[in-house]
Amino acid sequence: MKHFDRAIELDEKHTAGAFYGKGWLLLRGMKKFILPTKQDINYKDIAIAQFNNALAILSEEIATLTTTKILLEQRYSHILTSLSKQLFQKVNILTTYMNSIERAITVIEKSQRLIQITEITENSSTETNQNNERGVLKEIVSHAKFEKKNGKWCDIYLTTADELDRHLSIVREQKEIFVVVEDENKFSIRFKQKGKDEYESLIKKNQHLIDSLPSLEHEKMIIPDRSKYSRVYTLIYEAVKSKNGYVQQDFLQPFESLKDSKAYEVAFNDLTVRQDCGSIDQAIETIDCAVSENQLNRIDHRIAYSIIQTVSSSVKQNVVLSSTYRHISISITQINAGVLKEFLNPHIEIQEVTKQLAISYFKDKSSFFHRHILPENWFSDSCKVDLEIKTDNKTLEKKSSLQVREAIKIIEEQTENNLYFNLSFIDANKMSIDKKKSVLDHSDQTIEFIGLDRNDVQDKLNRIQSKNIVLEISDSKEKLLEVISLADVEYIEISFDRKSEKNIDNVKKIVDKQIAKKTIKNSISNRMTIGLIGIEKNFAKEIINHCSNEDFVIRFINVEFESLLNGLSHEIVNFHFDRLEKKAAKILIEKLRKKNHSFILKFKSLTNHEVQRLIEIAPIKQEDIQIIKKKTLSELFMNTSMPKLELSEFSERGIEYLLEINEKGFIP
């Protein structure tokens, strides 16, 4: 680790390999004497920070290489120079390296089982909000994601002995940690010990750590950068923890700021399922813990808290949400629309197959069972078939509700070459039929299409029916002001990126048109994102033709199911099952698990007290990260096409290895 630190110290802007190496070491853990390898405290967050530092450096390098390549091609447009080839190879290699780092970050973040709280404030159109703004109908604040039982890590203050006395109250009240260098090889740590009101003092001798500490220079007190001095934080945390001291704030502490007057949502991400003497599903267990089945607890969840105050502590443990609670939401994000359609569709559709393959689907029932879950009494003539015969993207013939023997006869009679067939077995997907009866008929569905061009938006508007539509547009301030003036809507959704603010991810406000215009005019950003709520289809078509932007998001709320299936092709979408009761939510989760679909479990319309209790009882556990494989960049190339010069250059800079990581498997 010290070699990587030294490399970063010498040339921080060109040491992506060193940051990547530090993340690698953190994941691998360190062996201490005869003890087994152990990963550091907070190693996941620190590893993510190191990997992100590497990505930032690599992104700048790729941008420079790409710009150079474009300028070179403009100057020598008719020839492919050796330099241009070299630049292309470098961009290709670095992109592969970055993709590997991003995959590692995704695996680590999923293992953290991150939780997100969303705060919702609703006002009438004539009320003013907390900022004294009239015309703000709703404000939605999504707080930063966090890990259960992992509160904010204590800051470490490096200070002088003279300055320390002025700040000891911070140690007592906020449980922060102070480090004072006493002499050349000794330093003291002041920290709050668990179960005691006063601070404790610990004297340590560690020359390596003292050498690693940043210099105070002319400042009396500093907080060392966590990413740059990760090893310092780890060593001090371990020392404090060994003395039963606080290294983290209480993870429930932020909930104290949640207000009684607001509504809340809690989202659980990346909950897992394991098979160990039966299925152990964190999502289903969380629902079971959250939603009561006890007849004594059949109370409206909005008055639950007032009742809790009058009962004993033993009864309080069992009161969370009413058994009639119907605000569970399950979201599938960033899924291919074709995959979603196969999951939802009660019909089994087989697209663009040859004559021989089409006939085999009809005649070979066993191969059909390998791909689909069919009713137990299914046989070839037990369902109807829709048949479409095509060639060169043209439909020659369409037949509906055929018996299987009729479809086979029609296909066998075709003598033309280059024909292909679309088959649809009506109501043959048993899983989807069951899902419709037990889930879809007992929930509201919303679909969000991401990154559509104007032609795609037009197509979705023509195909899909829903109770409400929101068209989301990102464009220049000037263009958005024009759009708002043209749009025949009452309210506008405005999105604000607040990642720079402490503990806030993003903010959305639903405002009237006047407030929307004022907000956009006063914004310091040149580009913003707005959503046109409840826009009519004809106006939506006009708006998208008026925009210079070619990247739209459109949400269909309370979508009509049959039209939804007709509107799905292969776009990237988010799909939400809303207003689920406990039973329907559990059935849906089981069906999602069978298809290995990831999802977000969300509880909506909660009070602040229900938020705290729900998170406190949710049975969420993390697994450690393990490195399962490492390979070199050179292994990605055939010997005959290997760019040896470029690979050698990157290797000298520490850009060489790709890691494959996952969560450690369950050990009974």
Tell whether 78 and 165 lie within a shared domain: no
Tell whether 6 and 99 lie within a shared domain: yes
- 650 located within any domain: yes
Q: List Cβ<8 Å contacts ≥24 apart for 22-27.
A: 22/47, 22/50, 22/230, 23/47, 23/48, 23/50, 23/51, 23/54, 23/104, 24/627, 24/657, 24/659, 25/1, 26/50, 26/230, 27/104, 27/108, 27/625, 27/626, 27/627, 27/659, 27/661
- 213 located within any domain: yes
Model's pTM, two decimal places? Answer: 0.81
Spatial CA neighbour of 504 closest among 158, 229, 140: 140
SS3 for 134?
A: strand
Tell whether 90 and 181 lie within a shared domain: no
- 573 located within any domain: no
Tell whether 172 and 237 lie within a shared domain: yes
Residue 643 C-alpha from the chain's centroid = 35
Q: Which two tokens stand for residue 659?
A: 């890691």
Tell whether 103 and 22 lie within a shared domain: yes
- 98 located within any domain: yes
Cβ 340 vs Cβ 568: under 8 Å: yes
- 44 located within any domain: yes
| pLDDT at 295 (0 to 100) | 44
Rg (CA), the chain: 30
> Which residues of the chain are under the pLDDT cut of 50?
295-319, 366-367, 369-371, 373-374, 666-668
Instruction: Give the C-alpha separation, 308 to 442, whole Å.
Output: 30
- 338 located within any domain: no
| pLDDT at 299 (0 to 100) | 41
- 117 located within any domain: no
- 146 located within any domain: no
The total number of structural domains in the chain stands at 3
Q: Of 211, 242, 273, which marks where a domain is finished? A: 242
Tell whether 8 and 108 lie within a shared domain: yes
> Domain limits at 383?
347-425
Instruction: Give the C-alpha separation, 325 to 564, whole Å.
Output: 27
User: What percent of the chain has pLDDT above 90?
Assistant: 40
| pLDDT at 499 (0 to 100) | 62
| pLDDT at 51 (0 to 100) | 95
Tell whether 85 and 186 lie within a shared domain: no
Tell whether 105 and 37 lie within a shared domain: yes
Tell whether 8 and 83 lie within a shared domain: yes
Tell whether 61 and 161 lie within a shared domain: no
